[in-house]
Amino acid sequence: MTSMSGETRADRFVQELSELRIPDPAAARTTLWLRLGATLMALGLALAASAYLVSHTTQNPLDQRDGLALGLGGIAATVVGAALFLRYSLTGFLRFWMARQSYDLAVLADRLSERDARHDLTSTDPAPR
Amino acid sequence: MNALLELRGIRAAHDGITVLHGVDLHVRAGQVVALLGPNGAGKTTTLRVAAGLHPAQSGRLLLGGRDVTGADPRDLARAGVCLIPEGRGVFPNLSVRDNLLMMTFTGRTRAEIEDIAYGRFPALARRRSQAAGTLSGGEQQMLALARGLATDPAVLLLDELSMGLAPLIVARLYDQVAEIARQGVAVLIVEQFAAAVLGIADHAAVVVRGRVERQGRPDGGLRDELSALYLGSSA
């Protein structure tokens, strides 16, 4: 596989690899982030529920305010956890879905252009549907 | 030419159990290297580590002399590492043509991909509208190889190409693999059935329990050792 310039595939391979950016493996700990997201979601919900119980079982306004703060913290944790979980669980699926969508669109465009090419533009008949 | 693919002291594990204990291997451009050994020896794991699909606990993966240990397998695939997995990995419900067109992600046009595939395997051209799942095993393997070639690989990793195929078909497929290697592609083949691959291999390595026990030219000595390994007798 030698190109016109005399460059072999192996040469191009070495060249492409030299330009390859290798990310820090620690930055790509998808599973870890996924688990953290799920844990935060569950923990946040549990926290919110327990905060409700805390504030409900006391008449002391200070304790009730603690419960409020705890509940808000729980909700915030759930939101962050859900965001993390979605980010790392759905991206793989969505990437494939998008590839499939663009492929289907390309096929559709091909069919339409083939149909237009077949249709005689000088004819008065409408294009077949 | 230096090695296009090199594994240095690779250790890898499945579920905490170490299955590769320091594998050293290299493949040069245009070379066919056969990785042989019994079931469960760690051959497929070695291949997956080489493709960047399985993390190495320690050791280094070098491609074209560059340390790419820990690199994203998608980046390696884009650069030119192509793994054809055991079981072929074709989309059974898609037609032959659609299976080939899935390779347009490489930037090649549909016409280029079809030219490469049908030029190398004319039998596929006759079945272009047929669902891949209805092809014979040999034709499915041709399709898998054709899809691999469409990516313009520099390093081709083949896992159990002969699995479930008649010897005649296997011989034809290996002729094609030898032809691919002659064009400068580094080919690493994992095989359980040594006889099939040793005919085209320039170099062979025998893996036993996660270690390369012996490697060299596939001459009589290596064949005797393989016989001993498989039959459990002394060579």
Which site among A11, A15, A17 would you substitute to test the B interface, given the most B Cβ atoms closer than 10 Å to its Cβ?
A17
Evaluate whether B216 touches B198 at the Cβ level (below 8 Å): no
* pLDDT given for residue A121 in this prediction: 58
Of B163, B158, B193, which Cα lies nearest the Cα of B177? B158
The model's pLDDT over A9-43, given as tens digits with 9 standing for 90+, comes to 888 888 888 888 776 655 557 778 889 999 999 99
Predicted confidence at residue A114, as pLDDT, reads 79
Quote the tokens at residue B101: 């067109």
Residue B29 touches partner A, C-beta closer than 8 Å:
yes
The full set of domain ranges for chain B reads: 93-151
Chain A residues with CB under 8 Å of B104 CB are: 103, 106
Q: Which of the two residues, A66 and B231, has the higher pLDDT score?
A: A66
From residue A49, how far is each of A45, A67, A81, B11 by CA, in Å? 6, 10, 16, 46
Burial class (CB in 10 A: 0-12, 13-18, 19+), B181: buried
Contact B29 A10 (CB under 8 A): yes
**CA quadruple A58, A60, A65, A68: dihedral, nearest 10:** 10
Of B55, B63, B186, the CB nearest to A17: B63
pLDDT in tens, B171-188: 888 999 999 999 999 999
pLDDT band at B235 (very low <50, low <70, confident <90, very high): very low
In angstroms, the separation between the Cα of residue B62 and the nearest Cα of chain A is 10
* Each residue's pLDDT tens digit, B63-99: 998 899 888 888 898 889 999 988 878 888 999 999 9
Cβ–Cβ contact B64 with A under 8 A: yes
**A103–B101 C-beta distance less than 8 A:** yes
B182 touches chain A (CB under 8 A): no
**Distance from A37 to chain B by nearest Cα, in Å?**
22
Q: Is the per-residue pLDDT at A92 higher than 80?
A: no
Transcribe B119-149 into DSSP letters: HH-HHHHHTTTSBGGGS-HHHHHHHHHHHHH
pLDDT-derived band at B195 (thresholds 50, 70, 90) equals confident
A10–B4 C-beta distance less than 8 A: yes
